[in-house]
Structure 1
Amino acid sequence: MNDHSVINQIVSTPPLGGRISFSRLDGTETMALPELYEQAGRLARRLRARGVGPGDRIGILAANGPEWVLLDLAALRLKAETAGLEPGKFAPSAELMARYDIKLLFTDRPTDAPGTVPISEVRTLAAEPEDPAETTPLPAVEWAPRDVTTIKFTSGSTGTPKGLGATVGSIDSSLAAVQEIFEHKPGDDLFVFLPLSLLQQRYWIYSALVHGHDVTVSSYEAAFAALRRAKPTVVMGVPAFYETARRQIEARVRRSGGPATAGEAARQLFGDRIRYLWTGSAPADAAMLRFFTDAGLPIFEGYGLNETCIVTKNHPGAHKVGSVGKVLSGKEVLVDEDGVVSVRSDHPVNYRYAYAEPGASERMFAPDGTVRTGDLGYLDEDGFLFIRGRADDVIVLDNGKKIVVRPIEESMRTSPAIAECVLFCPSQTDLVAVVSPASVPADLDAIAAQLARTNATSEADEKISRVVVAEAPFSIDNGLLTSQYKPKRQQILAAHHARIHDTKEGIHAA
């Protein structure tokens, strides 16, 4: 048995304290973690009565809520797998269940497919008292390091999402490494709002059950309203969330008409208990990171992939601006002669995809589980990792010059008028930027001014010739952002193809 396994502790030992809150636009529901554990046990017994057992897989296709957490914990207690299915990316159907070998599919979406269960039934199953005479204790289960607890799906920008089985060893190792550097403890309240179908969001619930701190679960739509009520100590967010928060804070300062500072406005938005802010999943703008640190809310960027879990993290005592942090315990970063980053793990997430097109596993995973990330980067003399961009996003001009687009895009995003910027090279001679405006109508003068500033610091081949301003900002709903708010380059290119190729279109460089 793995004596230090978070997963095995969760299934075998009731938590001693802590609480979990579910915050929506219409209010907050709070439950003590020992009660959550009891309800998950009742739900597990009722799922077992429906034939769910070790090795079976249940699907969860629903918005964040208590039901999601209870199902996930009940599955762990039964040694059953979950498949976390993101609403909007999947639709409930018999075909979906057959494709992913799902025994029962719990969903909040309308469907009459056989084997689907309205997720609203979960609370009843978990909360209803049991007849002690009919209650059979759950059999003890033990998870081995290479056992798979859940199938997680990529938030990739193209094609059918790839499914990857996450192993217990990878979860335990990642949580132990994070706990080593951040020491979450009773009194902390970790705030999460991205979909629980993303396994890392569930990490913080597992952490609460083991370390006795609180956790608040919300949604992106309700996040800012929930923050004011929850007053968390830690917020787990993607860069796009913090960019939105920065604009709100700056607007509060302007509206105050007085001596209000960014720090005061930030505490009004986030509460007065913030210990630190966590960000990752997409590149963070250096100006945004400085803004929050200067406002008294230290923010730490990290790096990881679906296929690697958390790889590096800035943290108190080991923080370097511009980097994504030092390599965590249990991970090794390898950089080849072309600057492409690979990651080796003591406990790999897996050695291949469970569901993917032919050849995808071989392209991503080496036989020992080492992951070829496709990111360009380097380690400095102090062991901090710097990511320069994606190898696939390097633009090669007709003169042979290779342009790494990420630093140029990041420069454009330093303007408060620009939410996202994606570079293309339609003729292999000059760069065209497609910009998602931070507000509608777009501030064209501010965008033009940022274009001039970016070009002033760029080499001749790296200058942007013109900017196409999207009429509608990139969003998840219009298919131009992933669930982790990363731009989908191919979809953006398709959506703006005619304007990108029209040399008269857009804001032209002076």
Structure 2
Amino acid sequence: MSDEDPELLALPADETSVSISSPESGESLEIDGETQALEWHAPILVRIDENTTIPHLLARRVQRSARRPLIARKLEMGDTWQNMTAAEFYEDVQATAAGLIGLGLEQGDALAIMSRTRYEWTLLDYASWCAGLLPVPIYETSSGEQIEYIIQDANVRAVITETVTQRELAESACRRLGRSDITLLSLDAEAMQTIRDAGVTIPRTMVAQRTQALTTDDLATIVYTSGTTGRPKGTEITHGNFTELALNAHAWMPEVAMGKDSRLLLFLPLAHVFARFLQVFQLSGEGILGHTPDTKNLLPDLATFRPSYLLVVPRVLEKIYNSADAKAGRGGKQKIFRWAANVAVQYSQALETPEGPSRRLKMQHAAASHLVYSKIIQLVGGNARFIISGGAPLSTRLAHFYTGLGLPLLEGYGLTETVGPLSVNTPRLSKIGTVGPPLPPLSVRISDEGEILIQGPSVFRGYHNNPEATAASFTEDGWFKTGDLGSLDRDGYVRITGRAKDIIVTAGGKNVAPASLEDPLRGHPLISQVVVVGDKRPFISALITLDAEMLQLWLKNHGLPPMSIGEAATNIEVLSALERAVDRANEHVSRAESIRKIRVLTTDFTEANGLLTPSLKVKRKAVLERYADVIDDIYGGPVQNG
């Protein structure tokens, strides 16, 4: 078997046709002297046929480069990563797929996976797809009630958990449902060996038949939304949703994953659709994929894996910055760090001007690079060419900071219903403050109410067993309603202004988007979470929780004794620091939108207390209900109706 032509599943030679076209924007409107697009159509760079499923992309990757590394697995002892070739991974997938068939799972059956991000999840995903199954993720932090709901709604036939404890939770859920026909396995208790043993007598031709029976219209997964507004909805995502987006993303941004030196370390939860898309994207390119199950090991793993690009949520970037600032301590070191941070921001801002950075700024940047930036770059492995941030808005200052120190930050935006990414800034042109242009082949339109509407092949099929919710999520002419408010500039770049359902209307009739105040405040080292309140109230206020990890460092750096969260919540110096942070955030909004009062809570928002989703989004409605008395106390009583 040659490196370039392994003996694999036969594929048609013309499985993918490529056509290049130019973007076509729709109508535009001039607002305050600036042209705003009302609609933007991204180019379709790659057209696929019905055979271009996820297993098809894997087989093509193996045919291109069977002997090149595809996966890097960290050895249990030490910091060494062991490469697995494309052919080796493909063989593991085939053996596991045969095992799943051997367990009695029929074409189209649902298999639930409940685990942290690790190699076995990716293996089970691809094996399930090759066996014609439907892998359904369950967050490893899910409650028994949530597990029960997913098993019932998706009609799950097998559950594979990471731990024995999780398996026991699933067993309890099955008993409550009266389901004794469900296979339950745990990775900690030889699940993979059990599966492989079950496949010994299954001919590989049976796996091939299952794989070849798939089309792009078949379901690839059902991903249950985080549930910020109630019971989770099962988002139906097809093979075509994944593959059309992945291939077009490769054609549009080949510098990310089409180079043989591309390296992605996956640490985001694979229960989330964004991470699921990333594994398909990376494995269908030319690079290597690694996994970090425990984020406590993230920095050491980044240092040894040396990723070529990072995909993170803003909270990770805020933590890195705040940790670097805190560890600089007091006095001279802290002054040097903050000077270097300001230089990075100014340098990035200057890059956006026709003149570029001045000679003096270039000299300052070179000095700051030697003293500070090089150390931060080494923190993430020293090999990263850029960072892609998504999942929540990021402050423009932090975006300029990372770009200025030599890690260009590309902010993006996406939803479960769009297989993750909807738009993202590109290395060729990044506009800080926007979330970039739509990824091919998506189209974006702004409704009369300012809501972002989308249409295209990567938009989900519908909500599982919920036709009413599906119908309510689309306009009459077939555009998906994102629920986000925003705008398009003349180049088709998307700017997010907030969630439609989160808009606060004060007693004076002023519309306030909470995100414009919450996002900059979350960048402060003392702050963990912020929820802006004030609906039907005379002014805007904010509920703030403290970051327990950063608090002690902050206190030490400010010459204060250690104290508990409860003590810090009423400490005059802590409150003064928070008030100064609020004043800075208020500089970017009108007086009617500004925060007038804050209340520091003594308990953080977590998944365990029901105030965060598994993807770490704040459940705003739950927070408002839980702290209704605190909010009423801020305003001297409940809302006066009439």
TM, length-normalised to structure 1: 0.90
One-letter amino acid matched to 1:449: R
Quote the residue 2:72 is aligned against: 21
Larger relative helix fraction = 2
Q: Does 1:305 align with 2:415?
A: yes
Tell me the CA shift for residue 410 of structure 1. Answer: 2.8
Structure-1 separation of matches of 2:538 and 2:76: 49
Instruction: Give the corresponding residue for 1:102.
Output: 156
CA shift, 1:182, in A, is 4.2
Contact 2:99/2:196, CA 8 A, preserved across alignment: no
The aligned residue for residue 198 of structure 1 is 272
Q: Counterpart in 1 of 2:222?
A: 151
C-alpha deviations, 1:48-105, integer Å up to 9, x for none?
1122232111111122222212211111111111111112224396775333211111
Q: CA deviation at 1:401?
A: 2.1
Q: What is the Cα deviation at residue 368 of structure 1?
A: 6.2
Aligned twin of 2:543:
434
Find the counterpart in structure 1 of residue 605 from structure 2. 474
**Which of 160, 163, 171 is residue 234 of structure 2 equivalent to?**
163
- Deviation of 1:397 after TM superposition, in Å, equals 1.8
What is residue 285 of structure 1 aligned with on the other side? 395
Contact 1:43–1:122 (8 Å) recurs in 2: no
User: Could you give the per-residue CA deviations for residues 356-391 of structure 1, whole angstroms, max 9, x where no partner exists?
Assistant: 4x7322221346652101111110112111110011
1:295 equivalent in alignment to 2:405: yes
> Which residue of 432, 450, 456 corresponds with 1:345?
456
Matched with 1:461 is 592
In the alignment, the residues of structure 2 paired with residue 134 and residue 449 of structure 1 have an alpha-carbon distance, to the nearest angstrom, of: 67
Change (3 A) 1:147 1:27: farther
Asked if the contact 2:267–2:292 (Cα under 8 Å) also holds between the matched residues in 1, the reply is: yes
Q: Which moved more, 1:314-323 or 1:27-36?
A: 27-36
Q: Is the 8 A contact 2:53 2:215 kept in 1?
A: no
1:117 is aligned with what amino acid?
A: L
Give the whole-Å Cα distance in 1 for the aligned partners of 2:102 and 2:268.
32
Structure 1 residue 495 displacement after superposition: 3.1
Give me the whole-angstrom Cα distance separating, in 2, the residues matched to 1:261 and 1:472.
38
d(CA) in 1 for partners of 2:137, 2:204: 28
Q: Residue in 1 aligned with 2:185?
A: 117
- Whole-angstrom CA distance in 1 between matches of 2:385 and 2:153: 43
1:322 maps to amino acid: G
Q: Deviations over 1:95-149 (max 9, x none)?
A: 7533321111111313244421223434324666986x87443224233222111
* 1:347 CA displacement: 4.2
Alignment of 1:190-229 (within 5 A): 190-219=264-293, 220-229=295-304
Residue 55 of structure 1 contacts residue 80 of structure 1 at CA under 8 Å; is this kept in 2? yes
Instruction: Give the equivalent residue in structure 2 for 1:139.
Output: 208
| Residues in 2 aligned to 1:504 and 1:332: alpha-carbon distance in whole angstroms | 44
- Asked whether the 8 Å contact 1:170–1:348 carries over to 2, the reply is yes
1:199–1:98 distance in 2 versus 1, CA, 3 Å: same
Residue 267 (structure 1) aligned to one of 352, 377, 382: 377
For residues 499 and 26 of structure 1, what CA distance do their matches in structure 2 show?
Answer: 50
Moved more, 358-367 or 384-393: 358-367
Letter in 1 for 2:157: K
User: Aligned pair in 2 of structure 1 residues 56, 34: CA closer, same or farther (>3 Å)?
Assistant: same
CA contact (8 A) 1:181 1:315 kept: yes
SS of 1:503 mapped into structure 2: helix
Per the TM alignment, residue 482 of structure 1 is displaced from its structure 2 partner at its CA by: 2.4
Partner Cα distance (1:35, 1:446) in 2: 55
| Residue 447 of structure 2: aligned partner | 336
Picking from 88, 109, 122, the partner of 1:35 is 88
Counterparts of 1:104 and 1:339, CA distance in 2: 43
Does 1 or 2 have the higher relative contact order (CA < 8 Å, sep 6+)? 2
- Alpha-carbon separation, structure 1, partners of 2:521 and 2:630: 19
Report the more deviating stretch, 159-168 or 494-503: 494-503
Flag the structure with larger Rg. 2
| Aligned equivalents of 1:6, 1:256: Cα separation in 2 | 58
What TM-score does the superposition give when structure 2 sets the normalisation length? 0.72
Question: 1:459-486 CA distances to partner (integer Å, 9 max, x unpaired)?
Answer: 2311212111122333334333323322
* Alignment pair present for 1:415 and 2:524: yes
Aligned length: 502
SS of residue in 2 equivalent to 1:315? coil
Question: Which moved further from structure 2: 270-279 or 121-130?
Answer: 121-130
- In structure 2, the CA distance between the partners of 1:436 and 1:34, relative to structure 1 (3 Å rule), is farther
Cα 1:376/1:297, change in 2 over 3 Å: same
| 8 Å Cα contact 2:245-2:458 kept in structure 1 | no
